[in-house]
A and B are shown apart, each in its own frame.
Chain A
Amino acid sequence: MSVATAPRARLARRGGWPEALTSTDHKQIGLNLGACSLFFFLLGGVFALILRTQLAQSNMQVLSDNSYNEIFTMHGSTMIYLFVTPMAVAMATYLVPLQIGAVRLSAPRLSLAGFWTWLAGGLVMESSWLTADGAGRTGWSSYVPMSNSTNTPGVGQDLWVIGVILVALGLTAMSICVTVTVARRRAPGMALLRMPVFTWTALLSVLMIVAAFPMLILAMTLLFIDRTGAGHIYTGFAGAIDYQDLFWFFGHPVVYVMFFPYLGGAAEAVAVNAHKRWFGYTAFVVSIMMFSALSMAVWSHHMYTTGGVTNQYFAFTSTLLLVPAGIEYFDMIGTLIGGAIVLRASMLFALTFFLQFLVGGLSGVFVASPVLDYHAYGTYIVVAHFHYTLFAGSIFGFFAAAYHWFPKLTGALLREGLGKLQLAVMVIGTNLTFFPMFFLGNDGMPRRVSRYPTHPEWGTLNLLETIGAGIIALGVLIFLINVIVSLRRRIVAGDDPWLGHTLEWATTSPPPPLNFEAPLPPVRSYAPLLDLREQQLDRERRLEGAPA
């Protein structure tokens, strides 16, 4: 191991920062995007803590109304445009070529340009804080006519719109590169139906980005034209509905973009830590394809209360999502049963991902019903629902992936003890923060308010949520400490610390510039390394004369 890592360490040091930031190696691009996303995660988390401080009691007056609106807008925008989505793309960019046995990414310069465009978009969006009128302040969805120049004048809101356009352009470019890589650079034997589970989830994510993000670019460009005063595009009732249709045609697929790679990461962690290949592979692939197809046909379930869409159609497609979702859970359980389970931090995060996401998924079936959504829409029921999918779900999936692949990225293991402590802290914090929101919403608390009536239970529940948010912050802090400690005092991981199933574990940690130095093992299924181990085991058993 140490022999293998020495020449690479020299290579990485050769160019230093300038080389790292201009590298066309997909691993470096993925790391850059992931690191920047993680920075934005911390920033968005700080915004969340400020929001929760304001909401700790009914009228805290920590923030002015205007500041509150800026911060909730930038919390959502930072988390969605600058963390959960780009982190999904970062994981895809880093891992997909490795998992399919490719030596490099297709069109790597386009991917690099995409990264820089996305980063520019992020910086433009956050730079709106520096303007005299303040940051974007009409929510991450920025409905018209609220977001036009009459109702929300100012350069800050313009910068927010431009930022979103650049972010969408950048991520679309990067997604094209991953898609083409899957199409053209699979190793011999790597048929589409032998691609690892994570690669499938990542592929469908980038396909959804390519299909849906142009709609966001269009919606925001038209909004910008309106804001300059040059256009009268979003006018009247039709204009308001058109914007929402365009926005949610992006905005719903992105929900699955922010889910799939984390699902794939958690699925890999479950399979590897159960020492058993993922159950029901074909059904799983079909189900996530059905998921992706439906995700392009459910967008107006965000618009049940507008009176401008056919609610039954969108209720039909949205409720149908429970079929592929149910298959995923079946496959996860099928993988556990009969396995040889090791409860590492990655496994615990993955199982928690599935269980907590389930709360978000089941409440999703609830809000898919128009009659139930007439009450739930725009309230803390919805805030609870999507934080259970995005935070209690995807972010836990991200940590499962982080504990699973950190050794591959760095060559060092993360500390298991700190990982389990982080999990315990975050499970408590997450449920304390988000579960009371269901009750508040059902009881009548709207979202996006900086003050609320002084019902005694509301104050108590909100205070619990604020405490929970602080506990989550502690959990994230433990993760950062774990990363720093693990990089400073390295426990060498080796090529394959977990008995991995897929090709990235057949190369060194971290992988060399062209990914694989040794010849690839034969690919005869979606778990080629497990195949090798099973063959080896069978040979040993035959030699011992035991029945195979």
Chain B
Amino acid sequence: MDWLFLFEVSLAGLGRGGLYALTGVAFVLIYKATRVINLAIGEMLMVGAYLFIGFGAGMALPLWLAVILALLGGALLGFVLERTAIRPLLGENPISVFMVTIGLSSVLVGLVEIIWTANPRSLPDLLPRDPIFIGDAFVAPKTFWSFVIAAGVIAVFLLLFRFWRGGVALRATASDQGAAYAMGINVPAVYSLAWALAGLLAAGAGILLGAISGASSSMGVFGLTVLVVVIVGGLDSVLGALLAGVLIGWVESVAGVYLGGEYEQLFTFSILLVVLLVRPWGLFGTREIERL
């Protein structure tokens, strides 16, 4: 057993896990505030990456501006999706809402393929390319920097949730909608805010993911793994999403390297099935008690 190699693989896995965690936070944000399981999160991420291509390569804007525009575009997308497709179904059967998000993901994939064709693209160079060594272990620079950025963004968001007025409103709505209303919190606005912020986070994750492995219209499959992440972590737990994201990323890359690439998804989905059978509410989720 080559411990150095294992260490390198683990680091690469942690890098990927950072992206899972980032997208997982976006997912949990939507779930906590609006109780919607958003299966379109992977596609929102994909749209973010393509917007960056569109602004950065297509319109040849400076990269920092392209990033900002792509993030804003992602936020706008989240806002629009919530207002047009999710808001009218408020209070409906959660399964209907879930299926609406499946429909939305299909629409987004189709739109991206119409605008940018189905061929895979590579993103403009965004991250530094100097090799990074931690001790003796080599880490791909893209992976390293995307992990650092993901960690930074997550930290900023955690602080925002804690101290910013909007973040407090979000948490209030998540814990008790009725009480939040009574306290004068504009709950519908919180819904929009949650979706817009999640769109922004997803777009950011999309740009990072695209910078690592290129963009394609099947990038949305990433969202399925994120789904596994949030379920393992507990749907309504940010901490769970973070830990499970890193964990799943690590398991995936170790399985991918030692067993072969096709085992990655087998492993993640097997973990999912085990968690669903043993502890359906996840590691840190709230256990729901149903009453008649």
Question: Do A and B come together as binding partners?
Answer: no
Name B's A-contacting residues (CB within 8 A): none
